[in-house]
Structure 1
Amino acid sequence: MDRDAFVSALRAEGFTEFVVVTRDAGELDTHTHPFEAKALILEGEIHIRTDGAERVYRPGDTFHLAANAPHTERYGAQGVQYLVARR
């Protein structure tokens, strides 16, 4: 999915807050966020583990995390940059 289509689709779903996040290689232990998040990977890669399964996301991929969903994040060797919508 491209950036314009992503933003347009999420605005139609009622998302109004969009933030570009950049992370260096590394990881975050299990944590939650008090908001729902949908993100589009712009560069690099991110591994997200939730509900006992890990999935890898690369440029053009999108992911969705429900509010308060426990998960871990691991960033690829080149880090990751993604556009995230929150509500």
Structure 2
Amino acid sequence: MNTQEFEAALQADQYGEITRVERHVGYQLAEHQHPFDACALITTGEITLVVGGVATTYAVGEIFRLPAGTPHLERAGPSGVSYLVGRREVAAP
């Protein structure tokens, strides 16, 4: 899937904000969560997400999804990572 197709899919799925994120070598973020659903396409490098104690690495061309409120850790791969990410706000209960 190319970036244009990915952006079109995000818009179709009601992701309002789409941004490009770059994380350099050595980037790590301790456990946290977001108040929005996230869906990202890796464009360079790789990122590892740890959810529920399970580490999954995503490389170029792969997509990860994180529902709002999902506790996770993240770290960039040995060459850093860039990705295109959509954020979809979640209505408060």
Using structure 1 for the length normalisation, give the TM-score. Answer: 0.95
Identity of aligned residues (%): 45
Unaligned runs of 5+ in 2: 89-93
Task: Give the Cα separation in 2 of the matches to 1:62 and 1:11.
Answer: 15
The Cα of 1:14 is off from its aligned counterpart by 0.8
Q: How many pairs were matched up? A: 87
Give the superposed CA RMSD. 0.8
| Structure 1 equivalent of residue 14 of structure 2 | 14
Give, as a single letter, the amino acid of the residue that structure 2 aligns with 1:54: A
Unaligned runs of 5+ in 1: none
- Is 2:70 the counterpart of 1:66? no
Task: Give the Cα separation in 2 of the matches to 1:46 and 1:61.
Answer: 10
| Structure 2 equivalent of residue 5 of structure 1 | 5
Q: How do residues 28-47 of structure 1 correspond to structure 2 at under 5 angstroms? A: 28-47=29-48
Task: Give the Cα separation in 2 of the matches to 1:15 and 1:34.
Answer: 13
Task: Give the Cα separation in 1 of the matches to 2:42 and 2:8.
Answer: 16
Task: Give the Cα separation in 1 of the matches to 2:72 and 2:57.
Answer: 13
Moved runs in structure 1, 4+ residues, more than 4 A? none
**SS of the residue 1:36 aligns to:** strand
- Kindly name which structure, 1 or 2, has the bigger radius of gyration based on alpha carbons: 2
Using structure 2 for the length normalisation, give the TM-score. Answer: 0.89
**SS of the residue 2:10 aligns to:** helix
